[in-house]
């Protein structure tokens, strides 16, 4: 049984984390020192490094600090950055969460800010232990998926197995989010055909045209040297593997970072910035994509890898699905699922997919993932620009 944490907005969390959020790079050290005093406890650090945030960065911080897995928030400000710290504090408090703000410049500097922050977090950990627990089912879950360190086995085993798990989640009424549109180039017509309405299909095609234009302008595709060393030959081949993680369900909507799926179903997350190309290479960091999935409400993340990856995430647990049996044996401490068993005829695709679906529910019920056990809490947030989605992107939603 999954006993979630009931939040004031009616959403339910699978973790009850205290977030320590720095609002500019100059405040990172203080936030990190506060967080380090609670090693092994559910106290995670996130933050934004820029002195001048844009709407995207501000929105991301609001969504992350009010995520259902978050029980309390400590904001750490230097004092002269442009992030609207008081507005963020007010929004977190309005969500029913305990929240506090430390401004280093008016709190006596580094040492005093660390002590004050650590004292507050200690009290918050005790306070949020009384958050009401309520029963959850798979229908309450939002699950995101991402790839990292892909090789030939990612598309042959790990991604298809996650696709099976996604189909099971959608059938159970849950919300599944797939993304990495830069690694779906060439598959846009298949995705459009799977859209629940023709208008949504057109929105998906437009999204993919934007993606291709963005990469063409930057002179880069989402294909790394490590992918080639792992046996992949082209972005088209990589795209076929990335597409497999979406499963077979109809696509119910197209969303952008910070948009929370309004109902059960499969959703495509557009992570490529809108407007003119101005923010450099998109999707250069797996954890930036994970943060965007979490901002869309993902309780946990499925992470496929063939070459091997060790990252986890702050706020939401990461389940590692390894497609390469040799990598799995070499990195057992970091991998949760051996999808490579499919390639060695030790399990079928359907069996591994069902195993992943069961593990999703176990992790939601409190079982720690390998990255959680190892203390991984990676996080990164940068600059992007997005325009709001149109009505055709979420058919049937007023």
State whether 193 and 300 are in the same domain. Answer: yes
**Mean pLDDT of all residues in 362-380:** 97
236 versus 245: the higher-pLDDT residue is 245
CATH value at residue 29? 3.40.50
pLDDT of amino acid 221: 63
Which of 128-142, 196-210, 248-262, 266-280 has the least mean pLDDT? 266-280
State whether 233 and 348 are in the same domain. Answer: yes
Give the confidence band of 127 by pLDDT, cuts at 50, 70, 90: very high
254 domain-assigned? yes
pLDDT of amino acid 397: 82
pLDDT of amino acid 182: 83
**Mean pLDDT of all residues in 331-351:** 96
Closest listed residue to residue 48, CA positions, set 5, 68, 78, 17 = 78
- The Cβ-side half-sphere exposure at 82, using a 13 Å CA radius, reads 8
State whether 153 and 104 are in the same domain. Answer: no
314 domain-assigned? yes
Q: What is the pTM of this model?
A: 0.95
**Mean pLDDT of all residues in 299-308:** 91
State whether 243 and 353 are in the same domain. Answer: yes
State whether 95 and 190 are in the same domain. Answer: no
**Mean pLDDT of all residues in 318-324:** 94
What digits encode the pLDDT tens for the residues 34-91? Answer: 999 999 999 999 999 999 988 999 999 999 999 999 999 999 999 999 999 999 999 9
Q: Is 30 exposed, middle or buried (0-12, 13-18, 19+ CB in 10 A)?
A: buried
Q: What is the mean pLDDT of the chain?
A: 92
pLDDT of amino acid 237: 63
Would you say residue 192 has pLDDT above 90? yes
State whether 244 and 116 are in the same domain. Answer: no
- Supply the DSSP symbol for 145: E
Pairing of strands 2-6, 12-13: antiparallel
Query: What distance in Å separates the CA atoms of residue 212 and residue 197, rounded to the nearest whole number?
Result: 23
Domain boundary among 118, 134, 150: 134
398 domain-assigned? no
State whether 123 and 270 are in the same domain. Answer: no
CB within 8 Å of 397: residues ≥ 6 apart: 253, 262, 263, 391
Can you list the alpha helix ranges (DSSP code H) found in 179-331? 188-194, 198-218, 225-229, 235-244, 286-295, 325-330
State whether 122 and 162 are in the same domain. Answer: no
Domain boundary among 87, 112, 134: 134
**Mean pLDDT of all residues in 269-292:** 86
State whether 114 and 252 are in the same domain. Answer: no
pLDDT of amino acid 238: 60
pLDDT of amino acid 218: 81
CB within 8 Å of 269: residues ≥ 6 apart: 144, 177, 178, 179, 181, 255, 256, 257, 292, 293, 296
Domain boundary among 107, 134, 161: 134
Would you say residue 29 has pLDDT above 90? yes
27 domain-assigned? yes
pLDDT of amino acid 254: 98
State whether 60 and 92 are in the same domain. Answer: yes
Structural tokens at position 252: 């119910």
Would you say residue 231 has pLDDT above 60? no
Residue 234 phi, psi dihedral angles, 5° rounding: -145, 165
State whether 174 and 228 are in the same domain. Answer: yes
Which three-class secondary structure state does DSSP give residue 19? strand
Parent domain of 18: 2-134
**Mean pLDDT of all residues in 158-186:** 94
State whether 154 and 291 are in the same domain. Answer: yes
pLDDT of amino acid 276: 87
Number of domains in the chain: 2
């Amino acid at each position: 049984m999954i006993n979630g944490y009931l939040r004031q907005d009616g959403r339910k969390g699978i973790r009850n984390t205290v977030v320590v959020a720095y609002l500019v790079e100059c405040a990172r050290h203080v936030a990190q020192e506060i967080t380090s005093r609670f090693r092994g406890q559910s106290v995670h650090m996130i933050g934004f490094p820029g002195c001048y945030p844009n709407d995207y960065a501000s929105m991301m911080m609001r969504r992350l600090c009010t995520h259902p897995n978050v029980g309390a928030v400590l904001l750490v400000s230097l004092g002269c950055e442009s992030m609207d710290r008081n507005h963020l504090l007010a929004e977190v408090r309005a969500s029913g969460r305990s929240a506090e703000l430390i401004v280093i410049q008016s709190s006596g500097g580094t040492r005093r800010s660390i002590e004050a922050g650590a004292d507050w977090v200690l009290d918050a950990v005790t306070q949020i232990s009384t958050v009401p627990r309520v029963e959850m089912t798979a229908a309450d879950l939002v699950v995101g998926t991402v790839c990292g360190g892909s090789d030939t086995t990612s598309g042959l085993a790990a991604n298809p197995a996650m696709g099976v798990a996604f189909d099971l989640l959608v059938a159970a009424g849950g919300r599944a989010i797939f993304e990495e549109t830069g690694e779906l180039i060439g598959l846009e017509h298949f995705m459009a055909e799977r859209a629940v309405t023709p208008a949504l299909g057109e929105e998906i095609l437009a999204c993919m045209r934007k993606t291709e234009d963005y990469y063409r302008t930057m002179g880069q595709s989402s294909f790394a040297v490590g992918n080639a060393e792992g046996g992949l030959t082209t972005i088209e081949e990589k795209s076929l593997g990335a597409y497999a993680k979406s499963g077979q369900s109809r696509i119910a909507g197209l969303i952008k970072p910070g948009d929370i799926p309004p109902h059960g179903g499969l959703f495509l997350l557009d992570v490529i910035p809108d407007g003119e190309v101005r923010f450099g290479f998109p999707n250069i960091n797996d954890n930036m994509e994970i943060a965007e999935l979490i901002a869309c409400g993902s309780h946990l993340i499925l992470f496929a890898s063939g070459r091997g990856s060790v990252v986890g995430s702050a706020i939401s647990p990461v389940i590692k699905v390894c497609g390469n049996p040799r990598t799995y044996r070499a990195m057992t401490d970091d991998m949760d699922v051996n999808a490579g068993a499919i390639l060695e005829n030790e399990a079928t695709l359907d069996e591994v997919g069902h195993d992943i679906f069961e593990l999703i529910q176990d992790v939601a019920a409190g079982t720690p993932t390998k990255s959680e056990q190892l203390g991984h809490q990676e996080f990164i947030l940068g600059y992007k620009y997005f325009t709001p989605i149109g009505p055709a992107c979420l058919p049937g939603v007023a």
